[in-house]
Each structure stands twice: as C-alpha cells, then as structure tokens.
Structure 1
Amino acid sequence: MNAVELFTRDDNYLYAGYSLSFAGNLVVAIIFGIFLVIHVFLARRARQWLCLYFWAIGLSLEFIGYIGRVINSKNMDNLNAFIMQAVCITIGPCYLMGGIYFLIGQLTIVHGQKYSALRPVQYAVVFIILDFIAVGLQSAGGAIASSANTLELGQTGIHVTLAGLSFQLLSTLIFLGYWFVFLYKIYQANKLEGDAAFPKEYEPIRKRKNYKPFLLTVSLSIIFIFVRSCYRVAELAKDDAKLSNDEIYTMILDALMILLASLCLLLIHPGIIFHEIDVKIKISLKECFSPRELDDIEKQSGADNSGAKQSRETL
C-alpha cells in the first residue's frame, strides 16, 4: 500500500487503506522465519559468512515486514506496523541479491575468470554498491511515504521509492546479462574440452552430483527476484490503485516470488556445495577497479588447461 491510497477518517490518515489477510500474512511470516533458521544453520556449518550475513538480513527483513502486515490486518491505524511492512519488505530482496553477488563471484573462481566479463571481486563490490544506492533510495522513500501527513509529501515518498526500485531493477537486469553470458561460456567450454577447461583445484566442487542443479536454482532465484522488482515498479508507477489495493497481487508477485527465490537458495545451499572447500574472494578496491590485463587472463588460461593448481583468492 502506498501513500496515494491513504484516505482520511476523523481527520487522520490511515496507513493501510485496504483489507489484509491475517492468516495469509502470518503463514508467509512463519515460512520466512523457518527459512532464516535453516539458512543460518547451513551457512554457519559451512562457514559461508558473507552469504550468512546478507541472506540472514534479507530474510529477517522479510519476516519483520510480514509481521507488520499481520499487525495491520488487525489494526489498520498502527503506523509502526505500516512502517515495518513498507520499509522491510521493500529493501529485503536487495540483501538477498547481495549474497548472490558474492556467490556468483565464487562460481567465477570455480570455473575460471577467463569465462567472465567481470572479476569475482567486481560482482561482490560493484553490484553491492549499486544495491546500497537502491536500498538508500527505497528506505528514504518508504520512510517519507509512511510518515506523510499530506498527500503531496506521500507522493514525494512514492517517487523516491520508485526511483530506488527502478535503479535496482536496472542493476539486476545488467547482472542477469553478465550471469547468463558466463553460463553460456562455461557451457561451451565444457562441451569442447570437458572439465579440463576449468581450474583443477576446484574439480571436487564441480563433480558434486547436485552442482548443475545448483546453478539452475541460483538462476531461478535471480529471476524470481527480478519478477518481484518488475511488479513493485509497476505497482508504484501505475496511476490506478488495482495493483496496490488488491492483496492477491502482493501475495503472488511479491511474497511468493521472494519465497520461491529463498527456497531455491536453500534447496541446494552454497554451504552444501562449498562444504570443506574454501573459495575466497579477496575484497580489494584496487583489484576491483584496476585494468584487467589480457596477459593475466592468457596466463590463467594456459595454467588451467595444463591442470596446474593456482590460487584465485587474489582475483
């Protein structure tokens, strides 16, 4: 619900101007809570700290947001609950994507940097910076809209939130392009040379029976989050209130999409794939923004094809 649809009763603004399902939102909140517990257990067990932090924050925000909707379903005048849902549900997926960026950086190391247009650290740093910009805009917009006491101020909050969502949508689309190009390149390399095309030291990871399904679930999770972002942009951009006021759209195109994305990430958790094999990304702004030398890539290519072991931690 956005501030445009707020209406006056006894000269006070209502912060949730449509009927919310108590049972539906409670079920969603419980599922997010369960997913959070499972993720923390698996990530800690495999020492996947960056995924742990980002996904734990994202799932916690989703849980808090839907608890806010549960409260609003019984008391539509509760401003704090509305702020909980307006802010937390909006920015939660950004943190889920943050964990995915680190994960894709690790997968770039597992297959070899020569197949990726970006370095592992660039996935981790560049796209997270873009997401923090999106989070900042969405948080500011949500705070303005949820605390607005005039229609004009509420509209300003919506525009700021829309800018943040649109920015996130664009960065996710660019990220999807890089990811699918990377998948295509490793598919072609595997088709021509088999597993010998990739770094020998990470062969145990690629040989796991659930590794290829893991790549599929990661791809699906990104697509689900992208669909959700499209919905949120359309929800705020449209002049009519149908997308905002009909909860079925929120449940299917927001809650369900993020639940499915989270489920995909848990079905074959990175903690299972990388268990007992350390794939680290060295976070360095110098490495992130320095020119990528062709000679370095060619040296890596030759070393990969000869099967020699070498560390990817400095990539």
Structure 2
Amino acid sequence: MPSYSLFFTILIPIALALGVKYKSPGFATVIATGLTLEAVGYIGRLLLRNNQNNPFYFAVFLTGTTLGPTCICGAMFSIVPRIVAIYGEEYRSWRPIWYLLLLSALTIASLALELAGSVVSTTQEAPTVVEAGIRLLVVGLAIQLVALAIFALHATLFTITLRTRQHKLDPKFAPVYTSTLFKISLAAFIVATALILLRTIFRTIQIVEGFQSSIAQAETHFLLLDGVVMLITSVLFLACFPARALGEYWPDTSVRRPSPKPLQLTHQTPGQLPVTRPSPTYSAIGMKSPMSTYSPGKAGYWASPSLVENDVLW
C-alpha cells in the first residue's frame, strides 16, 4: 500500500520536468495534478487501515483515487486533435474544436459531480444524504464513461478514415509520422486508453454496489484494477510522452479552426507523373511534387482533390 503513494509521488516531478523540457507545461500540469490526487488518495487509504471509522481519511481516499484518473483522462483527451493535425485535417471525423470543447465540458462535469459525491457520501451521517452523495458519484463516473466512449469512437473513426480516404499528407510533419517514437507512442496511447476504460468500468460497478459490498471491500481487486492499472497508465504516458514524440511540432498541432478554403494543389508540369507511396513516407521527391496524393491504407492510388471536399466533413 505505501508503495502506491510512493510511486505516484515519484512520477509527479518527472511529469513536470518533461513538461518543461518539451514545452508542454499545460499538459504536464494536468498529468501531475492527477498523479498528486492519486498519491494523496492512497495515503488516505493507508491511514484508513488503522482508523477505519475516520470519515476524513475515507473522504481523502475516495476523492483522491476518484478524481486523479479523471484528470489524467482530461489530459488524454487533448492528444487526439494533435494526432489528427499531424496527419491532416482531411482525415478528421469531427472538427477538433467541437470535439475538444465537448470532452472538456464532460470532464469538468465529471470532476464536479465526483468531488461533490465523494465529500457528501463520506462526511454526512444521514442515510438519505449519504445515498444522494453516492448517486452523485455514480453519475460523475457515468459521465466519465460517456466521455471515454466518445473519445474511443472518435479515435476509431479517425483510424478508419486514415486507412480509407485518399489525401496528401503534409510533408512538414513527415519527421513525426514516419518516426519510430511516434508509432510507439500511438501504441502506448491505445493501451493506456483501454486501461483507463477498464478502471472506470470497475470503479463504477464498485460504487453502484455500495461501500459495504463485497466488491468494495475486496482490497486485492481494487489494488489491481485501480492502483496497478492507473500506475501502468501513468508510466506509459510519461515513458512515451506525447510532446516528446511530436518534438518541435507540438505548438503547431494545437487546435485551430480549419480554414474554409479547400486545399489548393499546384498544377503538374506536362509529362510529370504523380508520385505514389504505399505508406505515409517522406522523401525529397515528395517535397518537389505537391501533386502527390496518397493514403496510409492504400498504395499506388492518386486522388483528385475533387473526390473529397472539406465542407462535407462534420
């Protein structure tokens, strides 16, 4: 038990240092806030073992271990628009600004309800008030599940679009989308998403069953499906730090309103053949031939810009 709070505490300065080094203080601060809440929550659980009837320790434990993962989820939601920007706005399934606003609103609502529910259910004695606090907490966790579902759906649609639509990748970001580090970061990101989703489902079931239920009292289940899962998720985020994978292009991938003008391609010179590639690769030829248009999912196909118009996208 003490090791959990110790491990989360060790990760806090690492997250902040990475934020400074890779010029992403906002993202790193949100991650560090989640790690801090996790560390405080496990300290509360440790104190609760020797003082089981202390409502303050229980409130600290419940609040920290509930709000910490929600903060980390909020940081995770901000990454997909940057990944979309790397491959190009033509591959988006939803305008990034609306996607980010929706998930931010859901995350804030989830945090507020989880905080209120945790405090009310642990500091009040009247059964009806405690029950109301538990319902608030369940609603907060349910909203977090909805946000995760939207996030997973958006990421899935983007993956499908990336493999089916035919568009030119921006050669400006070629050093990113062709790098091994970026691909490893994407794989780590997928694993972290699955782990957070698993943890949130478990925690929702646990709270619905009640604090005195067998699943709530099963310490081993909690430590594995909450503590270990969030620890692995946090390590994955820091080991494959998104701002490190994007490098100097991190500021260039911030969410902006897309230009209403469609992409204008320059005319080919007579006799010049379009360059095709089987995957999003980069070379000097691609820089010299702006007419080359290809898809990460299909090789040898050149698409006219009239095939897909920006205005028909969501």
TM range (shorter): 0.7 to 0.9
Letter in 2 for 1:72: L
Deviation at 1:126, TM superposition (A): 1.7
Classify 1:306/1:92 alpha carbon distance in 2 versus 1 (closer, same or farther; 3 Å).
Answer: farther
Tell me which of the two structures has the higher relative contact order, counting C-alpha pairs closer than 8 angstroms and 6 or more residues apart.
Answer: 1
Among 204, 209, 231, the alignment partner of 1:259 is 231
Q: Percent identity?
A: 20
2:270 matched residue in structure 1: none
Aligned counterparts of 2:129 and 2:220: Cα–Cα separation in 1? 27
Provide, for residues 15-68 of structure 1, a one-character-per-residue CA deviation record: whole Å limited to 9, x for no partner: xxxxxxxxxx21111111122222111121001122112111111111111111
Give 1:27-106 correspondences, 5 Å limit: 27-106=3-82
Structure showing greater radius of gyration is 2
SS at match of 1:176: helix
Classify 1:210/1:181 alpha carbon distance in 2 versus 1 (closer, same or farther; 3 Å).
Answer: same
Q: Is the 8 A contact 1:98 1:124 kept in 2?
A: no
2:244 is aligned with 1:272: yes
Aligned counterparts of 2:96 and 2:23: Cα–Cα separation in 1? 19
SS at match of 1:210: helix
Among 183, 189, 192, the alignment partner of 1:212 is 183
Structure 2: 5+ residue stretches without partners:
267-285, 294-314
1:14 matched residue in structure 2: none
Classify 1:115/1:255 alpha carbon distance in 2 versus 1 (closer, same or farther; 3 Å).
Answer: same
Letter in 1 for 2:209: K
Q: Is the 8 A contact 2:117 2:137 kept in 1?
A: yes
Classify 1:159/1:279 alpha carbon distance in 2 versus 1 (closer, same or farther; 3 Å).
Answer: same
Aligned counterparts of 1:280 and 1:260: Cα–Cα separation in 2? 29
Q: Is the 8 A contact 1:145 1:153 kept in 2?
A: yes
Classify 1:52/1:253 alpha carbon distance in 2 versus 1 (closer, same or farther; 3 Å).
Answer: same
Aligned counterparts of 1:173 and 1:64: Cα–Cα separation in 2? 28
Deviation at 1:75, TM superposition (A): 2.2
Give 1:180-195 correspondences, 5 Å limit: 180-188=156-164
Deviation at 1:80, TM superposition (A): 2.5
CA RMSD of aligned residues (A): 2.5
Classify 1:148/1:280 alpha carbon distance in 2 versus 1 (closer, same or farther; 3 Å).
Answer: farther
SS at match of 2:79: helix
Among 83, 87, 93, the alignment partner of 1:107 is 83
2:142 is aligned with 1:166: yes
Aligned counterparts of 1:84 and 1:300: Cα–Cα separation in 2? 53
SS at match of 1:229: helix
Q: Is the 8 A contact 2:19 2:29 kept in 1?
A: no
Structure-1-length-normalised TM-score: 0.78
Aligned counterparts of 1:50 and 1:301: Cα–Cα separation in 2? 34
1:241 matched residue in structure 2: 213
Deviation at 1:301, TM superposition (A): 8.1
2:202 matched residue in structure 1: 231
Letter in 2 for 1:133: A
The size of the alignment, in residue pairs, is 270
Aligned counterparts of 1:254 and 1:222: Cα–Cα separation in 2? 14
Q: Is the 8 A contact 1:105 1:120 kept in 2?
A: yes
SS at match of 2:183: helix
Structure 1: 5+ residue stretches without partners:
1-24, 309-315
Aligned counterparts of 2:248 and 2:255: Cα–Cα separation in 1? 21
**Greater helix proportion:** 1
Among 93, 99, 121, the alignment partner of 1:123 is 99
Letter in 2 for 1:273: A
Q: Is the 8 A contact 2:96 2:255 kept in 1?
A: no
Q: Which runs of 4+ in 1 moved over 3 A?
A: 278-284, 300-308
Aligned counterparts of 1:301 and 1:64: Cα–Cα separation in 2? 53
Deviation at 1:281, TM superposition (A): 5.5
Aligned counterparts of 1:90 and 1:302: Cα–Cα separation in 2? 50
Among 116, 130, 147, the alignment partner of 1:154 is 130
Structure-2-length-normalised TM-score: 0.79
Deviation at 1:186, TM superposition (A): 2.1
1:175 matched residue in structure 2: 151
